[in-house]
């Protein structure tokens, strides 16, 4: 079996499944599961006496997350999920009636509801529609929507259903040219595609850990640039948001100048330590290597599916590919097709009008070949 950038020995899930659902919920690598278990054992044995060690590890994980996102460590906050990071923007800006937010029409609800919730403050949410359902949005559609003015352009780095990758640096330039903040839902790419958020001019990015980052559910990371932080009110400040944290009798509200101001209170250490082990694994493998591998698997998969007679729904042209490939089989609904494949040991999900497949850096070309053979059999007799 060919070498993989992420060691297969870290993924016991491969004993039971051909796991191709990292766009859904990723399996925990062994070292992440061990880090969560070690946290539990430590607190079981020593309770709060391990607190200083926990703080030290938290700082290491924050630094590793900053490296992964290509940003200074001061700009990183831990969040409880993707939505929370996006909601810090929707709740924190000083909205005026008539302000506009531009989003693609096909976003996951996490990047829609926080903006729709501003309707009672007179904020208008412009959803950019593709010409045909499920199609990639051309840059001109965003230009046209922004031309009417906008406070925020908020997009997914990779669209969750069919997996097209947005041109993040170009969209960021476009947003700024129209005076808008550029906000990124990064969950469908961070951990799979190399990130350079600061260089790309992203203002805020947010991603939970449970997909491509290979972490536990309910613990994620947020990037907030210094310029973005200046514009965002912190509406949920707590003891952990201030410069003088742990001076319990100091009643002044002096917010930490770093992104830690968004972290209100006690940290999710079990989550942070699990996520930290997974990020270490990804950084050790190298994000360039992981992405080259995943991209290669997806190219191989897309070609194999076409040869097998399936209908490819993902447009991977012009750098728009990601770790997601979505397809349909004539005569079968996406849920029927997905159920048949899951029954044969392939973990995939019905999304984007088809079956969504999302391999990671430990999957092999042999697994992709076996998957394509299973699809070919369904094409022959649905």
Site for ligand PLP, rule CB under 6 A: 81-83, 108, 110, 156, 160, 185, 187-188, 208
Alpha-carbon span 231 to 200, nearest angstrom: 19
Least distance CB 185 / ligand PLP (angstroms): 5
Nearer to ligand PLP, 208 or 280 (CB): 208
Nearest alpha carbon to residue 187 among 60, 81, 317, 310: 81
Nearest alpha carbon to residue 20 among 330, 366, 316: 366
Nearest alpha carbon to residue 225 among 77, 47, 41: 77
Nearest alpha carbon to residue 22 among 363, 292, 358, 314: 358
Alpha-carbon span 379 to 197, nearest angstrom: 41
Strand (E) or helix (H) holding 154: strand 152-156
Least distance CB 138 / ligand PLP (angstroms): 20
Nearer to ligand PLP, 155 or 329 (CB): 155
Nearer to ligand PLP, 108 or 239 (CB): 108
Least distance CB 346 / ligand PLP (angstroms): 19
A 10 A CB-CB count for 301 gives: 26
Nearer to ligand PLP, 82 or 165 (CB): 82
Nearest alpha carbon to residue 111 among 147, 158, 175, 174: 158
Nearer to ligand PLP, 81 or 258 (CB): 81
Least distance CB 356 / ligand PLP (angstroms): 10
Least distance CB 83 / ligand PLP (angstroms): 3
Nearer to ligand PLP, 36 or 222 (CB): 222
Tokens in use for 205?
A: 């990015």
Least distance CB 208 / ligand PLP (angstroms): 3
Q: Are 330 and 3 in contact (CB under 8 A)?
A: no
Least distance CB 333 / ligand PLP (angstroms): 21
- What does the DSSP 8-state code read for residue 286? -
Alpha-carbon span 31 to 359, nearest angstrom: 19
Nearer to ligand PLP, 12 or 109 (CB): 109
Nearer to ligand PLP, 207 or 329 (CB): 207
Least distance CB 206 / ligand PLP (angstroms): 8
- The helix/strand/coil state of 328 is strand
Nearest alpha carbon to residue 183 among 168, 167, 165, 164: 168
């Amino acid at each position: 079996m060919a070498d993989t950038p992420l060691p297969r020995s870290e993924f016991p899930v491969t004993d039971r499944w051909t796991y191709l659902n990292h766009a859904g919920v990723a399996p925990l690598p062994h070292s992440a599961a061990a880090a969560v278990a070690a946290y539990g054992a430590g607190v079981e044995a020593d309770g709060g006496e391990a607190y200083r060690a926990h703080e030290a590890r938290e700082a290491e994980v924050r630094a590793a997350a900053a490296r992964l996102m290509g940003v200074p460590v001061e700009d990183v906050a831990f969040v409880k999920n993707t939505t929370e990071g996006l909601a810090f923007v929707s709740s924190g800006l000083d909205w005026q009636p008539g302000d506009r937010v531009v989003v693609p029409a096909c976003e996951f609800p996490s990047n829609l509801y926080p903006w729709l919730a501003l309707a009672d403050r007179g904020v208008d949410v412009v959803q950019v529609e593709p010409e045909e359902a499920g199609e990639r949005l051309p840059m001109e559609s965003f230009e046209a929507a922004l031309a009417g003015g906008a406070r925020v352009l908020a997009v997914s780095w990779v669209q969750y259903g069919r997996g097209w990758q947005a041109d993040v640096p170009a969209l960021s330039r476009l947003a700024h040219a129209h005076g808008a903040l550029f906000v990124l839902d990064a969950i469908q790419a961070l951990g799979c595609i190399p990130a350079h958020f600061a260089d790309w001019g992203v203002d805020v990015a947010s991603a939970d850990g449970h997909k491509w980052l290979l972490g536990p559910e309910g613990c994620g990371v947020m990037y907030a640039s210094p310029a973005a932080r200046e514009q965002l009110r912190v509406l949920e400040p707590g003891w952990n948001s201030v410069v003088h944290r742990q001076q319990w009798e100091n009643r002044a509200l002096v917010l930490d100048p770093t992104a830690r101001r968004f972290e209100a209170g006690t940290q999710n250490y079990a989550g942070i330590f699990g996520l930290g082990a997974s990020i270490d694994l990804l950084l050790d493998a190298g994000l360039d290597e992981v992405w080259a591998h995943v991209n290669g698997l997806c190219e191989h998969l897309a070609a194999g599916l076409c040869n097998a007679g399936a209908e490819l729904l993902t447009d991977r042209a012009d750098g728009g590919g990601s770790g997601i490939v979505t397809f349909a089989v004539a005569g079968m609904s996406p849920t029927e097709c997905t159920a048949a494949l899951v029954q044969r040991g392939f973990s995939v999900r019905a999304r984007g009008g088809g079956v969504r497949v999302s391999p990671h850096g430990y999957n092999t070309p042999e697994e992709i070949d076996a998957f394509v053979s299973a699809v070919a059999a369904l094409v022959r007799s649905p």
